Amino acid sequence: MRFIDETTIHVKAGDGGHGCIAFLREKFRPHGGPCGGDGGKGGDIIFNSDKQLSTLQDLPNNHHYKAQRGEHGKGKNCHGKNGDDLIIKVPIGTIVKDSTTEQVIHDFKENDENFIIAKGGNGGFGNARFKTKNNVAPKIANDGALGQEVCVSLELKVLADVGLVGFPNAGKSTLISKISNSKPKISDYPFTTLTPNLGIVKYGDYKSFVMADIPGLVEGASKGKGLGSQFLRHIERTKALVFIIDSNSDTISSDYEILKKELVNHKPDLDKLPRILLLSKTDTISDADLDKKALPNDLEILKISSLSGKNLENAIKSIAYLVKS
């Protein structure tokens, strides 16, 4: 399944049906009064958030959406049927923007939210509506109103409590597979993770938080370099950040500063989030060698091994505390 997190679509609500011009013609009433019915209302275009969806993949296959128009009015005061609404399913976390101004129109944060993005046109009045004392046989009716038409950009930002940040092959996917229900692809080569992975991490009695693993970042990611750059938006909504760095790196402190700089360059507010640093793969390096390395001194640091399970419970407790703080 392709992961699509942005697309642009054109939507057109249904036009209203036209009002009808008709006169009652029955036996013994050859000159009956006006009986033209009203046109039906055009269908609305409605976005609906669905927790079962995790990508916008279905939308690029259809860039144009059009709702049903209302039926025209008929004689004998028969009103036209309203057009059916068109419902477009989107994942929770989808932001709807005006494609021209980039102004946010709606932000879906809950399941089963409905938002009318384009309203159908009202049906026109039939000539029965225009009968007056002075005009008992009106020969006028209204056309139905046009349905609203708009071009919108859809942008998906996953909703997670914790953002997992690190360089390619740092052990992010292995970690999230060990402590959550997520089962990402794991291989011993860079850029194995090509899309964000969400995992639910359970702790304590009936408590949990959602962790997002985005593709590995490289220096310059905030300016478009590497695979992780296009997915930085997915940690904008998080409550806490978990940095993960391979304990075998000889430049742990500078690695941390590079990762932090890329996040701040993307969105300065990310620097305000509580954070923790996990040094991964400690089963492949001795404690003595690791203790010789320069480490950052402005955040909590835990030495973990996802393969052996070393310190994973303590890591979960520390992360849960950050989420609640």
Of 124, 156, 188, at which residue does a domain stop? 156
The residue written with tokens 């392709």 in the block is 2
Q: Provide the residue range defining the domain that includes 34.
A: 1-156
Among 61, 244, 249, 53, smallest CA distance to 158 is for 53
* Same domain (yes/no): 276, 239: yes
Q: Which tokens belong to 199?
A: 């995992």
pLDDT digits 0-9 by tens, 131-178: 999 999 999 999 999 999 999 999 888 778 899 999 988 888 889 889
Q: How many domains does the chain have?
A: 2
Residues of the chain under the 70 pLDDT cut: 1-4, 30, 58, 60-61, 182-195, 206, 220-230
Query: Which pLDDT score, from 0 to 100, does residue 250 have?
Result: 94
Of 140, 156, 172, at which residue does a domain stop? 156
* Same domain (yes/no): 121, 49: yes
High-pLDDT (> 90) share of the chain, %:
62
Strand order in the sheet with 64-66: 64-66, 6-12, 149-156, 94-98, 104-107
Of 156, 173, 193, at which residue does a domain stop? 156
CATH number at residue 31: 2.70.210.12
* Same domain (yes/no): 197, 306: yes
- Judge whether 234 and 158 are in contact, CB under 8 Å: yes
Identify the H or E element spanning 261: helix 252-266
* Same domain (yes/no): 194, 236: yes
* Same domain (yes/no): 194, 302: yes
CATH number at residue 195: 3.40.50.300
* Same domain (yes/no): 78, 172: no
* Same domain (yes/no): 147, 199: no
pLDDT digits 0-9 by tens, 216-262: 777 765 666 655 556 777 788 889 999 999 999 999 999 999 999 98
* Same domain (yes/no): 205, 128: no
* Same domain (yes/no): 305, 169: yes
* Same domain (yes/no): 113, 52: yes
pTM for the full predicted model: 0.72
Tally of CA atoms within 13 A in the half-sphere of 151 that contains its CB: 7
Query: Which pLDDT score, from 0 to 100, does residue 60 have?
Result: 58
* Same domain (yes/no): 90, 111: yes
